[in-house]
A and B are shown apart, each in its own frame.
Chain A
Amino acid sequence: MSLAATKTPAKSEAQSRSQAREVRKFLMGMAISAIVALIAWTYLRPLYFSINQSLGRAAVESDQPQYPSSVRKFTYQGKELELYNVPTESGVKQLAMIDKSRSSSVFIDPSNPTQQITWEGSWRSLKRIYEFNPLYSNYPEASKQLDFVHYFRNTLIVSILATLGTVLSGIMVAYGLARYRLPYLPVLMGILQTTLILPREVMIVPTYIIFYKLGWVGTWLPLFLPLFFGNSFAIFLLRQFFLAIPRELDEAAMLDGANPMQILWKIIVPLAGPAIISVAIFQFIFSWNDVFSPVLYLAGKDDLQMISPALNRFSSAYGQANPQLTAAAGMLASMLPVGLFLLAQRPYFRAMMMPGLDK
């Protein structure tokens, strides 16, 4: 009995100490998370602004709140009247304006519309009442004006072809570089690493000349065909992954009479699934978002043009007068890459971890 009595307070003391630690940990977590949330909110503020803009109206009043909104109206005798916050003797009231003038204005109370109220003072000092009222119709409107479906289709086809080329050639070349004792392998790897880090912009003038001579300018060929001849990023990433697959698997299959092609497709590719998905997603998003190549090779070819240059031209034409349509079109163009990323973050992050590719 006495033993139990001495034990209990000791236990609760330890318990309360660990409880205090828990509380401290919780508070620390809350504080740091709050700071990070605040930074993230600031960081993404322009995106929030743009989403609001895409649901807003062409003309934005100076007193308008930042969310998509319109002035609250009161319909009386077939007329739409704007509601104002009007200070009266019995506090601030929401009144509908009938007639405005510099020194006094006439209002009615929506709850008692038959009685007119005259308010002394400049109506400009009064604040209008805004309500949340997003204009979802901006999206179909922007889609129609931009001919979004047409460019979406073009971009989708080119991105899929580019991804296909990158994956197919990447698998083959990476396997060759990972498994075969080729002469000059260090030299080949050096070339691979150099082309990996060198920005493609460096090559744009020389390759343009070649594509021009080949008659490829004004077609989709420059945007995807070179990728069937290897993309250093895909080759490098897949090679790293293939190197980690035990060689014994290849050898066992070889003893069973499989040829190298069969080994590659039946054994290596299934095992390298995650790496291949990383490469595919990365290339797809890269091709989808690309503006440099399509601007260059598809200038003036509206029937073949991709979404980014089309959007850029759309904003030049509509940006000033209709910023809400440009913003909505931008959101439409972003949906596929952002959606893909949200679905497959892990493979995307894996591809991004490659040094020198954070472009």
Chain B
Amino acid sequence: MIAEPKKHVSLDVLERRWGWFFISPWLIGLVLFFFGPMIYSFVLSFTDYNVVENTGKFIGLKNWLTIFTDPIVQKSMLVTLRYMLVSVPILLFAPFMLALFLNSKHLWAKGFFLTLFFLPQLLPPVVVGLIWQGTLNTRGPINQFLESLGLPGPSWLTDAWAVIPAMAIIGLWSIGGSILQLIAAMKNVPGELYEAATIDGSTSFTSFWKITVPLTSSVLLFSVITQVIAAFQYFTIPFVLYRGQGGPDDAGLFFMLMLFKEAFQYFNTGKASALAWILFIVCFTVTQALFFISRRYVYYAGEVRE
């Protein structure tokens, strides 16, 4: 009984020890697979190291400056940027429209339709690439459809100008997650808001613009940022369609594909380390912006609900 307070102190220490024990795998993993490699590759980014030959010497900032000097690196950044400009509006608008439909109180078999729109996302990306390779074939169903309208069908995968639009079309098969998040956001909008607006004489059109859009805008913004990151890591589809190369006139040479080639085809490990660090910095900045926005979003939704 007298030892009670002392026991409390030791329990606290013991408890803390258990806490460290539980998270120890993650901490070890962070050092081994995150901080360690990051620091090591940061050092390597100032050398012309080759991981296979295990040779390299200090070359200063040369690797980092390739984003200004190397035409291939610049080309890949241009391709990635172009893809972003085309795909982000599409990948924002399409899930929004579908979420509106799937959230409609009139729709039958909602779960069934949601499953259908989700299905392509479950297919292995290699299979997705192969399916679209057939679909976008010069004599494939898309061009047959265009022909039936009397329009000339482009050679989607071999005309340099058509590569980015083709990639954006394929990107439509990955909107399941966005649809789901948008539906959740729309469900979060309190029904009383619409009722109050209707009583005040608002048409469903103005309700849509004044209630639905603003209250889901944070999710939309979130989605934009995710798309930007996704564009930087876009790899599998062009990798499958162009057999690990850049496609016609390097029009499909996305940043990640270029990085992959530098690192694992030419084994320019030093240069690839610098490029990976540039990618890291871009994604990190975008991620922090995302946190900033999502923090505001959580606050916002909480306020509405009260």
Contacts and interface: CB of A to CB of B under 8 A. Distances in A.
Interface of A: 25, 28-33, 35-37, 39-40, 43-47, 49-50, 53, 66, 169, 172-173, 175-177, 179-182, 188, 191, 193-195, 197-199, 201-210, 212, 226, 228-230, 235, 260, 264, 285, 288-289, 291-292, 295-296, 299, 307-309, 311-312, 315-316, 319, 323, 326-327, 330-331, 333-334, 337-338, 341-342, 345, 349, 352-353, 355-359
A307 B37 contact: no
A50 B134 contact: yes
A227 to B, nearest CB: 9
B189 interface: no
Interface in B84-130: 98, 101-102, 104, 106-109, 111, 113, 115-120, 122-127, 129-130
Query: Per DSSP, are chain A's interface residues mostly helix, strand or loop, or mixed?
Result: helix
Contacts of A179: 19
B115 A355 contact: no
Q: Which 6 residue pairs of A and B lie closest in terms of their CB atoms, listed nearest first?
A: A358-B177, A229-B29, A180-B19, A176-B22, A206-B37, A230-B26
Nearest to B137: A323
A32 B131 contact: no
A349 B180 contact: yes
Given A176-B21, A226-B29, A357-B177, A36 B184 contact: no
Contact of A203 (B26, B37, B104): B37
A12 B275 CA distance: 76
A173 B25 contact: yes
Interface string B286-297: 010011001000
Given A40-B116, A210-B33, A330-B123, 6 more contacts: A176-B21, A205-B275, A206-B276, A229-B25, A295-B239, A349-B118
Contact of B127 (A40, A203, A209, A311): A311
B107 A32 contact: yes
Query: Per DSSP, are chain B's interface residues mostly helix, strand or loop, or mixed?
Result: helix
Given A182-B20, A359-B230, A205 B41 contact: yes
B122 A285 contact: yes
A316 B264 CA distance: 20
Given A49-B141, A197-B229, A289-B124, A235 B256 contact: no
A261 B279 CA distance: 40
Contacts of A39: 98, 101
A28 B105 CA distance: 10
B216 interface: no
Contact of A205 (B33, B115, B235, B276): B276
B18 A260 contact: yes
B287 A291 contact: no
Interface in B6-40: 15-16, 18-23, 25-26, 28-30, 32-34, 36-38, 40
A330 B127 contact: yes
Nearest to A345: B115
B290 A49 contact: no
16 contacts: A28-B106, A46-B141, A47-B131, A176-B18, A197-B229, A198-B283, A199-B230, A202-B276, A205-B269, A206-B37, A207-B37, A229-B25, A264-B22, A291-B126, A308-B124, A359-B230
B273 interface: yes
Contacts of B115: 342, 345
Contact of B124 (A201, A337, A358): A337
B131 to A, nearest CB: 4
Contact of A308 (B36, B126, B232, B233): B126
Contacts of A206: 37-38, 40-41, 273, 276
A226 B22 contact: no
A195 to B, nearest CB: 7
B285 to A, nearest CB: 11
